A and B are shown apart, each in its own frame.
Chain A
Amino acid sequence: MNPLIPMIASTVVAATPLIYAALGETVVERSGVLNLGIEGMMLIGAVAGFAATLGSGSDTVGFIAAAAAGVALSLIFGFLTLNLQTNQVATGLALTLFGIGLSAFVGHNLAGLPVARLEPITIPGLTAIPVIGDLLFHYDIMVYLSVALFLAVQWFLTKSRSGLTLRAIGESPGVAHAIGKSVLTTRYLAVAFGGATAGIAGAYLSLVQTPMWVEGMSAGKGWIALALVVFGTWKPARVVIGAYLFGGVTQFQLFAQGFGLPIPTEFLSMLPYAATVIVLVIICRDPKTILLNQPASLGHSFHSAA
C-alpha cells in the first residue's frame, strides 16, 4: 500500500474532533457569543462518552451521553452570560477550568480502563476499491457524520431563515430584538449546539483516537478549535479546511519518523501549537479581515434596555 494512504487516513481522524468543536463554535460565535469553554466541554464529553460506552457497551450511547454532557455544561455558560450577563471571556475560562476539574474528578476511576475502539465501517463495493476505497470509504461513522454536520451548518447559516436570524443577532442584536426576534432563545440554542458538538468532539478522542480516558486528554484541542474559527474567518467551509490542515500538522510526527528525521518528539509535538500562533498572525495581520468577518456583537452582552 502507498505509505501516503495511512497518513492521509490518520490526518482525517486527527481532524475530525477539531471539525466538530470548531463548527459548533462557529455557530455560537455567529450568534454573537464567544464561548472559550470548548476545552472544558470537550473533556466532559470525553469522560461522559467513555463512561457511557463502558457501561452500556454501545458507542451510540456514548456519543449521545457526551453530547448531553456538553449541552449541560454549555447551559451553565448560557445562564451566566445570557441571563446574568457575566463577562463572556471570564465565564468561558471558568467553564474550561471547571470542566478540567470536573472531568478529572468524575474520571479518576476510569483512567487506564480499556474500551473497544469505534471501528471503521465497511461499505459494500466501495471500501474494496483500491486506493479510493482506503482513502474515502474506510472511516468510522463519526467521520462521515462530521461531513454531514458541515453541510448542515453551511446550509443553515447561508440558506435557512433561522440561520439568517442567527447571523442578524450576531451582527446587531439590538436591531434583531427591535423587529421581534428573540436574542435570548437564539443564543441559548446556539450555545447548546456548541456544547453538543464539543462534547462529541471530546468523545471522539476517548472512543476513537486514543481510545481510553486520560486526565486532560484534549491537550489544548479545544483552544485550537477556537483558533480555527478565526482562521476560517467564521465561514464553515474554511473552518473545515483549516481543521484538515491542522490534522495534517499533528500527523507530521509520523511523517518525520517515517523518514527518520532526527527531530526530538517534543519539537514535533510543539508543531500544532506553533502552527496555531503562526496561522493567527497571518489571518489577523490585516485588521480589516477581522473587522469585516467577525460578528459585530461578538463577546458583548445584550440586554434589551441598552
Chain B
Amino acid sequence: MLRLERRAAPSSVMSVVSPLVAAVGMLVTGFLLFSALGKDPVEAFYLFFIKPLSTTYGIGELLLKTTPLLLCGLGLALGFRANVWNIGAEGQLTMGAIAGGGVALWFGDSDSNFAMPLMLLAGVLGGMAWAAIPAFLRTRFNTNEILVTLMLVYIAQLALSWLVHGPWRDPEGQNYPQSQGFGDAETMSILIDGTRVTWGIVYALVLAVVAWVFAQKTFAGFRMQVAGLAPAAAAYAGFSEKRNIWIALLLCGATAGLAGICEVAGPIGRLQQQISPGYGFAAIIVAWIGRLHPIGVVFGALLMSLLYLGGESAQMGMGLPSAITGLFQGLLLFYLLAADLFITFRLKRVVDAPEPKPAARVGSAA
C-alpha cells in the first residue's frame, strides 16, 4: 500500500520537475481530447505546438504574445510571493492602455521624440493608479484584494468601451468602436524585420532580470518573501504588512500597465474595445508555472504564448474552436497544483500494519 508522507524539507527538485509533469499531463489529456474529437492527435499536436514556430514570423508572434504575459506574470509573481492575491492584472493592463493611449491620441500625428517615453510612462502610471485602489482599500479598510482587483477589471473594460464608443471614437472610423490609429512616432518600432515584434519584449526581459535582482538580492524583496512564507515571522521581525501590500500591488500595476501600452502602441496601433484575450488572467498561470520566480516566469510566459498561438493555428488548420487554449490553460494549472503535492509530500510504501492512532495519519492515500 502506498501512503503519502510529509517530507522533512520541501523538495527543490520537485518544484522544478512539477511544471514539467504538469505540461506532460496537459499533453496526454490533449492527446485523449483530440482523439475523442475524431482528430488525428499527431496532426493536432503538430498544428498546435510545432507549426506556429516553423517560420520567422511565427517566432515573432511567439515573442509578441510573450511580452504582455511576461510583464503581467512578473508583477503577479512578486505579489503572490508576498501572499498578495492580485488577480486583476487584466484591469491594470487595460488602464495602462487607456492612460498611455490617451497620451498617444493627445500627441496625434506629431513626431515629437517625447511622445513614446511619455506614453510608456503614462501606461505604467495608469496601471499603478488602478492597482493603488485595492492597495488602499486593503491597507486602510481591510478589504479583500481578490474581489476588489477582479471587480476593477470589469470597470476598466467598461471605461475603455465607453471611451472608444464615445469621446475617443475615430470620427472617420465608420462607427467602429475604436480610436484613430496612432501616429508613426506613437507606434513602437519593430525589433526584427518580417515580424511584428516590438521593443516591448526587450523591456520585458530586462524587467525579468530587474525583478530577479529585486526578489533575490534586495531587502524589500526579502521582506515580501518572508511575509509570504511565514507571516508570523515577518510580523515578529517588524516587517510592515501594509508596505508589502503596497509594493506588491504597485509593482504589478506598473508591469501590467506597461504591458497594456505596449499592446496598443505595438501590434494593435490604436485603442479599441478588445485589447487583450485575457493576458492578465493567463498571467496568473504563468506566474505559477514559473514557480513565482522571475526567470521561471520567462519560460512560463513562452509556454502560455505558445498555447495562444497553437489555439489559433489549430482553429485555422483543423477547425477546432480557439477556446481550446483556455481549456489547456486551466488543465495546466490543475495538473501543476496536483503535482506540487510532491514538493512537500512523498509516496511511501507501507506494510499493512494496524492503523496507528488517527493523530498520526497524514492526508489520505492517493
Contacts and interface: CB of A to CB of B under 8 A. Distances in A.
A217 B154 CA distance: 13
Contacts of B282: 97
Given A177-B358, A287-B142, A102 B341 contact: no
Nearest to B330: A98
A192 interface: no
* Majority DSSP secondary structure for residues of A touching B: helix
A83 B365 CA distance: 8
Interface residues of A, number: 52
A150 interface: no
Contact of B137 (A40, A84, A281): A281
A104 B341 contact: no
Nearest to A222: B150
A303 B143 contact: no
A264 B163 CA distance: 10
A284 B143 contact: yes
Contacts, number: 150
Contacts of A95: 330
Contacts of A287: 142
Interface in A64-91: 76, 80, 83-87, 89-91
A93 interface: yes
Given A94-B333, A270-B154, A104 B148 contact: no
* Majority DSSP secondary structure for residues of B touching A: helix
A136 B361 CA distance: 54
A87 B341 CA distance: 10
A89 B154 contact: no
Interface stretch (B105-113, B178-186, B250-258, B320-328): B320-328
B46 interface: no
Nearest to A105: B323
Contacts of A267: 158, 162
Contacts of A273: 151-152, 154-155, 158
B215 to A, nearest CB: 19
Contacts of B166: 264
A281 B154 contact: no
B150 A105 contact: no
A230 interface: yes
B350 to A, nearest CB: 15
Contacts of A76: 334
B147 interface: yes
A85 B333 CA distance: 15
Interface of A: 36, 40, 76, 80, 83-87, 89-91, 93-95, 97-102, 104-105, 108, 177, 184, 215, 219-220, 223, 226-227, 230, 264, 266-267, 269-270, 273-274, 276-277, 280-281, 284-287, 290, 303-305
27 contacts: A36-B146, A40-B330, A76-B334, A83-B366, A89-B146, A93-B333, A95-B330, A97-B333, A100-B330, A101-B323, A101-B326, A102-B326, A102-B330, A104-B327, A220-B150, A223-B147, A223-B150, A266-B162, A267-B162, A269-B158, A273-B155, A273-B158, A276-B147, A276-B151, A280-B137, A281-B141, A303-B363
Q: Give 3 nearest A-B pairs by CB, closest first.
A: A101-B326, A98-B330, A104-B323
